Structure 1
Amino acid sequence: MAGPGESSDYPRRMARSRSTDTSAPAGKAGRGPAGGAPGRSTGATAVSSSKTGKVGKDGKPKVKRLAKLKSQAGMIRQAYTLTYRNDPKLPWIMLIAFVVVAAAVELFGLLVFSSPFLFLPIAVLLGLLAALIVFGRRAQGSAYRQVEGQPGAASWVLEGMRGDWRVSSGVAGTREFDALHRVLGRPGIVLVGEGTPQRVRGLIAQEKRRIAKVVGDTPIYDVVVGDGEGEVPLKKLSTHVMKLPRNLSGAEVNALSKRMSALGGSRMPVPGGPLPGGRQMSVSQRQVRRR
């Protein structure tokens, strides 16, 4: 039983013990949520969220650079394999391009600076660049040769163009697999037809009348894919469309796209990929085609 002196000091000792028994330090990690939960739980949440990795502006986790490089390397390797099947001379042509360019750069270094090693790294890099350019050209040519003459080939090319192009595939067609595709971009409206030229031109005329009230004074270009007079070859289709004059601004393209949405999109089934090798071939060679 405590004596009289001890009983008088008891409240002060309890006050000192309460003041030293503090919770987590002040700050964001030590504060609890509004509901009164302990501050310790917020700290645990911060630790767990830091383990999930960096998050982008859209709230999704960022893809690491190494993963991107692996994905791109895999697509290039797949495109090389598919191109080599149709072009067995590909590795030899790439090797010749590498040797010729590297030798030319190295010879320049020898003649001008009299040093065999000064330009060696540059020669190797430029040789590799030349080999990659040759590979891209040959892969693109091989892809075009495989799809040429197949239904949906023009749509496949249009959807692979660089830039802001709104492609509506198969807006009109016939039972004989003639197809008309509509492209909206900075030049205006581009109607691209593939199939028999006589039937395709009829489809283009019908589509022009159908969209005339919606597009107003917007320029309308028509393209017939083929090798005849006044036609555009498939391998030159993307270049031809991308070289058309820029008549609209970005805002005008968006406004026209909203008006065009009232007309609807595809009205006929168009093959998702004309390549005979299936889905994998279309993905890998599409990457090469866009370069």
Structure 2
Amino acid sequence: MSTPAPSAGRLAQLRQAYQMTKKTQPRIGLLLISVFVLSAAATAGLGILLLGTRWFSIIIVAILALTVAMLATMIVFGKRAEKSMYQQAEGQLGAGAGALQMLRNRWEVKPAVAFTKQQDVVHRVIGRPGVVLVGEGQHARVKNLLGSEVKKHQRIVGEGVPVTTMIVGRGDGEVPLPDLVKRVKKLKKAIKPAQQTDLLYKLKALDAMRPAAPMPRGPIPTSMKGARKMMRG
């Protein structure tokens, strides 16, 4: 009889994230060791100063120092891993969809609701700010595609529901991939949760008339999602 090993998947995920991070940050190992040692030493020094050097105080300080050091190391690693994932994913088809999939709670993400033969795509996010359409691809083509999608969505959702557009990229008026999720989250709330549910039902009719989009299922979205999952623990 085999027993489940939930930590195995966790360790594999950490290993994958570390290997990918090392591609863009070769000294990540040295950095993490330094963070662990310095945070442990600082915590131990402060603990001894406050609790003294009696044996039970030393045990408490040691446990506290290890806990703080591990937490600090994981926080730094998470930030570095996220930055590395974005660096490797930026400019590749599907990177925007991978980033948007990190949205949680009341956010509903549907990748590639519209696309062109040149592989320009538009993803849709529904949340308290209303409808957010995010485009990826060549700026001029994506802008035209977004304009068409805005008209289609406005006819379905009606007045009072904002339809916001964004284009992923580094050009003028575009949103860099690392800032995409933050930019979406910062949008002003405009609808209530009940309206959000109604929007999902209304837009099902629009989606049903579309052909299936050939979205890539490569390592970009998966790795980015895995890195964020790892950071959340």
After TM superposition, the score normalised by the length of structure 1 is 0.69
Structure-2 residue corresponding to 1:226: 169
* Cα 1:154/1:274, change in 2 over 3 Å: farther
| Cα pair 2:32 2:77 within 8 Å, conserved | yes
Which whole-Å CA distance do the structure 1 matches of 2:119 and 2:195 have between them?
Answer: 33
SS at match of 1:253: helix
The one-letter amino acid paired with 1:264 is D
Structure-2 residue corresponding to 1:289: 228
**Residue 260 (structure 1) aligned to one of 190, 194, 203:** 203
Counterparts in 2 of 1:100-179, with a 5 A limit? 100-115=38-53, 117=58, 118-179=60-121
Which whole-Å CA distance do the structure 1 matches of 2:146 and 2:180 have between them?
Answer: 17
Counterparts in 2 of 1:5-84, with a 5 A limit? 67-84=5-22
SS at match of 2:73: helix
Which whole-Å CA distance do the structure 2 matches of 1:120 and 1:230 have between them?
Answer: 51
Which whole-Å CA distance do the structure 1 matches of 2:142 and 2:149 have between them?
Answer: 11
| Cα pair 1:147 1:274 within 8 Å, conserved | no
**What whole-Å deviation, never above 9, does each CA across 1:156-208 have from its counterpart, x for those lacking one?**
11123222322222222333322211111222100101122222221111111
Structure-2 residue corresponding to 1:235: 178
The one-letter amino acid paired with 2:40 is A
Relative contact order higher in (CA < 8 Å, ≥ 6 apart): 2
* Cα 1:148/1:249, change in 2 over 3 Å: same
**What whole-Å deviation, never above 9, does each CA across 1:118-147 have from its counterpart, x for those lacking one?**
522111110011111111112111211111
Which whole-Å CA distance do the structure 1 matches of 2:12 and 2:106 have between them?
Answer: 26
The one-letter amino acid paired with 1:108 is L
Which whole-Å CA distance do the structure 1 matches of 2:9 and 2:94 have between them?
Answer: 27
* Cα 1:86/1:153, change in 2 over 3 Å: same
Which whole-Å CA distance do the structure 1 matches of 2:190 and 2:89 have between them?
Answer: 31
Q: Report the CA distance between 1:241 and its aligned residue.
A: 1.1
Which whole-Å CA distance do the structure 2 matches of 1:197 and 1:212 have between them?
Answer: 22
Which whole-Å CA distance do the structure 2 matches of 1:186 and 1:68 have between them?
Answer: 35
| Cα pair 1:75 1:284 within 8 Å, conserved | no
The one-letter amino acid paired with 1:224 is I
Which whole-Å CA distance do the structure 2 matches of 1:222 and 1:288 have between them?
Answer: 26
SS at match of 1:221: strand
Higher alpha-carbon Rg:
1
After TM superposition, the score normalised by the length of structure 2 is 0.84
| Cα pair 1:151 1:274 within 8 Å, conserved | no
Percent identity (aligned): 37
Which whole-Å CA distance do the structure 2 matches of 1:152 and 1:284 have between them?
Answer: 12
**What whole-Å deviation, never above 9, does each CA across 1:223-255 have from its counterpart, x for those lacking one?**
111123332110111111122223333322111
Q: Is structure 2 residue 215 aligned with structure 1 residue 270?
A: yes
Structure-2 residue corresponding to 1:213: 155
**What whole-Å deviation, never above 9, does each CA across 1:16-41 have from its counterpart, x for those lacking one?**
xxxxxxxxxxxxxxxxxxxxxxxxxx
Unaligned runs of 5+ in 2: none
Unaligned runs of 5+ in 1: 1-63, 276-281
The one-letter amino acid paired with 1:162 is R
SS at match of 1:161: coil
Query: How many equivalent pairs are there?
Result: 222
